[in-house]
Amino acid sequence: MLSLFPLAARTGPPLAFCLGALGAGVIAVIFGLGFAFDVRGMSTRQAARMRERVREARLRRGSLAEPVYPVSPEARMRMSGGFIAFAGVVLCAAGFALLHLG
């Protein structure tokens, strides 16, 4: 029998879970691309805040030497943004697959 509500007759994962995964993936892609491409200075501001917190913590301990970073905080934030964006794309694909194939 042809169902008028195809989503109501599903036997796969719950609809809320599929839509939640899809929505979380979209949000992760947006934030990841924002950090990866330094939209509106997101990575630069975050790296400056991190650098300031480290400097204040070192001053409280009495150390006056500047810390040596193997990778600059800006580059690390951009690389993390790229990973977050990729994970968001994977999450979107998984949510879409669960929604339509499940």
Please report the pLDDT score of residue 3 as a whole number.
53
Number of domains in the chain: 1
Establish if 72 belongs to a structural domain.
Answer: yes
The mean pLDDT of 14-18, rounded to a whole number, is 86
Establish if 6 belongs to a structural domain.
Answer: no
Establish if 2 belongs to a structural domain.
Answer: no
Establish if 92 belongs to a structural domain.
Answer: yes
Write out pLDDT tens, residues 58-81. Answer: 999 988 888 788 888 888 889 999
Domain that holds residue 76: 15-101
Distance of CA 91 to the CA centre of its chain: 10
Alpha helices in the chain (DSSP H): 15-36, 42-61, 73-101
Establish if 7 belongs to a structural domain.
Answer: no
Instruction: Return the CA Rg of the chain.
Output: 21
Write out pLDDT tens, residues 43-63. Answer: 889 889 988 998 999 999 988
Contact 9, 83 (CB under 8 A): no
Pairwise CA distance, residues 87 & 70, whole Å: 25
Establish if 1 belongs to a structural domain.
Answer: no
Contact 73, 51 (CB under 8 A): yes
